Structure 1
Amino acid sequence: MSERVTDAPMFEAVIVPHRSLSRRGLAGLIVAVAVASGLTALLFFLLGAWPVAGFSGAEILLAVILIRAHARVARESEVVLLSERRLRVIHTDRKGGRREMALDPSWLRAELQERPGRVPALLLVGGRRRHEIAARLGEAEKRDLAAALAEALHAWRNPRFDNPQLREPDFPESLP
């Protein structure tokens, strides 16, 4: 018999930044900021403080730039796939560019590196190599992912085989 190793995922995690608003919601937010700032500028203009209108226009422009930058970052994603052969990390940046990293899970471990006053870093450590994953997740999500990934790596290294010949026979209690 030939042993065939599949590349089917045993563990899969899709990591995306928190997306608080849809495209329509972002457009609504930009309009709301522009209207509120425009009304404030109009009020100051009518009161004779016309230079405030220029600063208000700059404020609207800055708000639009920051909101759009936030929306671009939300396009990033990361996929962690553990198969029978390897652990793959596929990172897609905000422009759609993909980077893939394949690691041997034999000696790999998921480690949380505590950083005072900051969210801990989730690292994949294998020998001397250290790779940070899930950089955009919050602390609770990182801890959950680290625990699930550590469990999956443990299951990968310690497979459980089901041999039907070793099972207890299922006899009926009374024979006819």
Structure 2
Amino acid sequence: MDDMIFMDAEIRPHRSLSERGFIILISIVTFLNCCSAAVFLAMGATLVPMFLGLDVLAVLIAFLASFASARQIERVRVTDSQVRVTHETPKWSRVVWESPTAFTRVSVLTEDDRAVDVRLALSGKEAQVAAALSPSERAEFAKALQGAIQDARKARW
């Protein structure tokens, strides 16, 4: 018999810069660094253009790492028998939390009326969930997760 699904949430990190915006930004940074390198070469400072090239490389690597982390998805699934949290990318999937629905708690750490941290807890073990969300979204997610767990418990009995 298949388990009834009460929540199947997919949490994706938000990135405000699109790939097109990234291409425009890296083009502007490269152009400005090339202009600066030409000025420094004209002044006889031959090592400065190498450091400007390293600057462009560092910006490129930082954005590529950011885009790679944006492809990671956190999936929270609540069924009548278990709560499961997985981290997924296009290449791999890893289970980070699995517990029986009947004994799983949701704990929310608040600071100045903002949900700072949402965790699943069972027998002294905890796992953070929804870290990619804003505090207000985190609070809404915590309520929905708590409701899904309660509904799953009711359906089980």
Report the TM-score, using the length of structure 1 for normalisation. Answer: 0.73
Distance in 2, Cα, partners of 1:28 & 1:7 = 48
- 1:123 and 2:83 equivalent? no
Query: How far off is 1:115 after superposition?
Result: 7.5
Q: Deviations over 1:115-135 (max 9, x none)?
A: 79xx82321012222112223
2:131 is matched with 135
Kept in 1: contact 2:3–2:79 (CA 8 A)? yes
Task: Tell me the amino acid that sits aligned with residue 53 of structure 2.
Answer: G
Query: Given the alignment, which residue of 92, 96, 101 partners 1:97?
Result: 92
Correspondence 1:66 to 2:62: yes
Q: Which has the larger radius of gyration?
A: 1
Whether 2:27 is the aligned partner of 1:31: answer yes
Q: For this pair of structures, how many residues does the alignment match?
A: 152
Contact 2:6 2:149 in 1 (8 A): no
Equivalent position SS for 1:136: coil
| Residues 1:157 and 2:121 are matched in the alignment | no
Question: Are 2:79 and 1:83 equivalent residues in the alignment?
Answer: yes
Match 1:14 to one of 6, 10, 27:
10
Q: Give the share of equivalent positions with the same residue, in percent.
A: 28
Instruction: Describe the shift of the 1:87–1:72 C-alpha distance in structure 2 as closer, same or farther (beyond 3 A).
Output: same
Matched residue of 2:133: which SS?
A: coil
Highest RCO, 1 vs 2 (Cα 8 Å, sep ≥ 6): 2
More helix by share: 2
Q: Provide the rounded CA distance (Å) in 2 between the counterparts of 1:141 and 1:96.
A: 27
Higher alpha-carbon deviation: 61-70 or 119-128 = 119-128
Q: Indicate which of 106, 112, 119 corresponds to 2:108.
A: 112
Question: 3-state DSSP class of the match of 2:2?
Answer: coil
RMSD: 2.5
- Shift of residue 14, structure 1, vs aligned partner: 0.5
Matching residue's letter, 1:82? V
More strand by share: 2
Structure 1 unaligned blocks of 5 or more: 160-176
